Structure 1
Amino acid sequence: MTGTAANRAGAETPAMTEQTDSHAIRMPAYVDHAHLVVRDLSMVSSWYQSVMGLTPIEKTASGEVLGVAGRPLLTLTTQGNTEVAPRNAPGLFHTAFLVPDRLALGRWLAHVADNNVPLQGASDHLVSEAIYIGDPEGNGIEVYRDRPRAEWDYADNGMVKMATLRLDLQALYDEAPKGGWDGMADGTAIGHVHLQVSDIPEADAFFRDVLGLDLMATYPGASFFASGKYHHHIAANIWNSRGAAKRQANMTGLADYTVHFNDTAKLQSAIARLDALEIPVTRNGETVSLIDPWGIGLKLSA
């Protein structure tokens, strides 16, 4: 019996034993926030508000915090010496915004279609349905909805089965109510971040062996990591960035992102492994900040 068939028959699965609440942000650890450095703050912020339906939450000296229903999701900042990151630089492949359900995904699709926003792709990943676009400065974005975990298929080794199949955009559009879109649905969160790195074995060692995430899937040139048997909270690929030098601090794109630990013990274990490897960290209350092996900022919080 396949994992999917077993799930439908009511058999216990790794997902069910790990967490009864299957949402990405209910796992022992999850991605809480992303921070982008941009060149044109006003223009990019306006775009995220009008196209992505995010709302301003806070203004800072150098930027803005945007989110959904008061939940901060994205910080945008700018600086005087910012340089455009080359395409092969380590950093962001895409930020993935997880919407509550297929209806919310369809409503957003109808919104961007009606406003002639170009799509970069759309895929059925078995565990999810995803649509891809880029912001005005080239930062990748995924908007997706998860299928119920009862429909996910786990292999005997605990990994989840994913694929990249054609998504029927016309059917998704046809099912959605038209007009009256007033922003992302309440409950929208960052489901995962997908990174460009320079080496996959190094990524496996960092995200699995240091941060303590599970390796949930592998593709040629990519690994997918998660907590709580989610399909992935962090992905890393070398498709554009194999062997690339570290990211520079003044580059546009992903300055840092935050992994929040619902399980404090897992955070303390990760910090202990960072200390054992003598990876420099900065502590600010319950938040630990560091630079990962590819020059990307990372914050760990509880």
Structure 2
Amino acid sequence: MSLSLTGVDHIHVYVPDMALALGWYQNALGFTPVEKLRHWYDEGGPMTISNGGVALALFERPDKGQGHTVAFQVTGAGFIQAMAHLQQQKVPFTETDHRLTWSLYLSDPWGNPWEITTWDYREVAAALAAQPVYD
């Protein structure tokens, strides 16, 4: 019998300051606390936050170093919206054309790496080509 995974349930993220982390994840990536799980945090566990079907478990601890990069999947339109949103929030990111997918790479203020990726390659390529170029 083999292991059958159906998706990502949650991801552990270690942060030194819960209030700052909640603000950053809400403003930069649209996460909000999962109220029905707040008791875990009140009892010394993680603060669970979510955006759509993605959940993060924020653990307030001293520096744990960088962990694994997690890639959030978006549509082509969602990718363009993510670029605009991150720019508006002044979150530095790197845009990468993988010739099959497009990705945005960013880090939270504590060095945790994140990726936002789309398989809608042609849609994003066309949208980016239509954007004005500034010198």
User: Cα offset for 1:93?
Assistant: 3.7
The number of equivalent residue pairs is 120
User: Cα offset for 1:97?
Assistant: 1.1
Partners in 1 of 2:22 and 2:8 — Cα distance? 21
Partners in 2 of 1:132 and 1:172 — Cα distance? 20
User: Cα offset for 1:48?
Assistant: 0.5
Query: Secondary structure in 1 aligned to 2:48?
Result: strand
Partners in 2 of 1:92 and 1:173 — Cα distance? 36
CA-to-aligned-CA distance 1:181-218 (integer Å, 9 cap, x gap): xxxxxxxxxxxxxxxxxxxxxxxxxxxxxxxxxxxxxx
User: Cα offset for 1:173?
Assistant: 8.7
The counterpart of 2:119, out of the listed 146, 158, 161, is: 146
Equivalent residues in 2 for 1:283-294 (5 A)? none
Q: Which residue of 2 aligns with 1:97?
A: 72
Gaps of at least 5 residues in structure 2 are none
The counterpart of 2:59, out of the listed 77, 102, 111, is: 77
CA-to-aligned-CA distance 1:118-166 (integer Å, 9 cap, x gap): 11x2212233210011101010010111238xx9xxxxxxxxxxxxxxx
Q: Which amino acid aligns with 2:49?
A: L
Q: Which residue of 2 aligns with 1:40?
A: 17
Q: Is the 8 A contact 2:8 2:54 kept in 1?
A: no
- Aligned-residue sequence identity (percent) comes to 25
CA-to-aligned-CA distance 1:226-271 (integer Å, 9 cap, x gap): xxxxxxxxxxxxxxxxxxxxxxxxxxxxxxxxxxxxxxxxxxxxxx
Q: Which amino acid aligns with 1:54?
A: F
Q: Which residue of 2 aligns with 1:126?
A: 99
Greater share of helix: 2
Q: Which amino acid aligns with 1:64?
A: M
Q: Which amino acid aligns with 1:105?
A: F
Taking structure 1 as the reference length, the TM-score comes to: 0.35
Greater share of strand: 1
Q: Which one has the largest radius of gyration?
A: 1
Partners in 2 of 1:57 and 1:35 — Cα distance? 15
Taking structure 2 as the reference length, the TM-score comes to: 0.73
Equivalent residues in 2 for 1:251-270 (5 A)? none
Partners in 2 of 1:34 and 1:116 — Cα distance? 24
Distance 1:44 1:76, change over 3 A: same
Equivalent residues in 2 for 1:51-90 (5 A)? 51-58=28-35, 59=38, 60-61=41-42, 62=44, 63-69=46-52, 71-79=53-61, 82=62, 84-86=63-65
Could you list the structure 1 runs, at least 4 aligned residues long, displaced by more than 4 angstroms after superposition.
none
